[in-house]
Amino acid sequence: MKKIVFSTESGADLPIDLIQQHAIQVVPMHVVMDGKDYLDDGSTPVTDIYDFYERTKTIPTTTSTNPNEYHEFFTKIKKAYPDCIIVHIGYTSKASSSFQNARIVSEDFEDLYLIDALNVSGGLTAIVMYAVDLLEKQPNIELDQLLTHIRASVFKARLAFVPGSLEFLRAGGRVSNMAYLGASLLKLKPLIELIDGKLMSTKKYRGKMSRVAEELLHDYLNRYDIDKEQLYFLYSLGLEKSIQHRMSELAAEKGFKNIKWIQTGSVISTHGGPGAFGVAGLEK
């Protein structure tokens, strides 16, 4: 069987250790500040985004990976791994044109399979790592079976997070000024979930993030029967270390065997703001 190479976008927020350990190929998305384009490849500190907002009171623009970049990306993989099969697990097509851009160039390559993850950040990471683990456990699995299992996992992925800053949501046009004012006065924090590939506000929490994070995890685990083998916690710079420690404790108490913290990159941090918290996993 030909070598299988997994790829995804930077919007998956895959930790560098997992990328290197499993040779996952990652193509960067973009962040635009002051009219200049920056690749979401770790070369631009997330603090630059926060500094830009403090200076301009506007958030940067995020853009997808374009067709030319995808062509170069897939070509590079094929050169590094001749005769390989590429399985690209992409950022939700409902929130970005990135997946469609990958589809545009896909006809130029043999043995390239595209899977729309209908998810972002930790939810996308959960699907990518499911694919990686499945292949490592069953190295002789038939390609059709592998693709079928990965596509099935898309509908089991669950992501929920609370943005760290309502100001970022307001500046990005995601809440009105009146809604922002009311939420700020009441200290409300919206819960954002991926529903059919779209980012939707499904609930509001009240209080400090330390309290909200616990309530979010409690509600998440009560609502979804998450596989105990792996749980992913998301955070953007600014989330208190004490909250991270407490969430790890609670997850361990609930019987999760592997708990992985994921720091959001430039694209996701642009939308969530500093101090965001989230959780992701796959249902059984």
| Cα R_g (the chain), whole angstroms | 19
pLDDT along the chain (284 residues), means of 10: 95 97 98 95 94 90 96 98 97 94 97 98 98 97 98 98 75 43 57 88 89 97 97 97 98 96 95 93 98
Domain 157-282 fold is Hypothetical Protein Tm841; Chain: A;domain 3 (3.30.1180)
The Cβ of residue 46 has, within 10 Å, a number of other Cβ atoms equal to 21
Q: Which residue, among 172, 177, 183, 196, has the nearest Cα to 268 in the 3D structure? A: 172
Question: Is residue 27 a contact partner of residue 69, using CB atoms and an 8 Å limit?
Answer: yes
- Prediction pTM value: 0.94
Indicate the helix (H) or strand (E) that contains 48.
Answer: helix 46-56
pLDDT of amino acid 175: 43
Helices (H) and strands (E) in the chain, counts: 11, 13
Q: Which CATH number fits domain 4-29+64-154: 3.40.50.10490, 2.40.30.10, 3.40.50.2300, 3.40.50.10440?
A: 3.40.50.10440
pLDDT of amino acid 202: 86
* Every domain range in the chain assigned CATH 3.30.1180.10: 157-282
pLDDT of amino acid 187: 63
Question: Is residue 5 a contact partner of residue 15, using CB atoms and an 8 Å limit?
Answer: no
Q: Which residues pair with 201 in a beta bridge?
A: 192
* Every domain range in the chain assigned CATH 3.40.50.10440: 4-29+64-154
What does 179-219 look like in DSSP terms, one character per residue? HHHHHHHHTEEEEEEEETTEEEEEEEEES-HHHHHHHHHHH
pLDDT of amino acid 189: 85
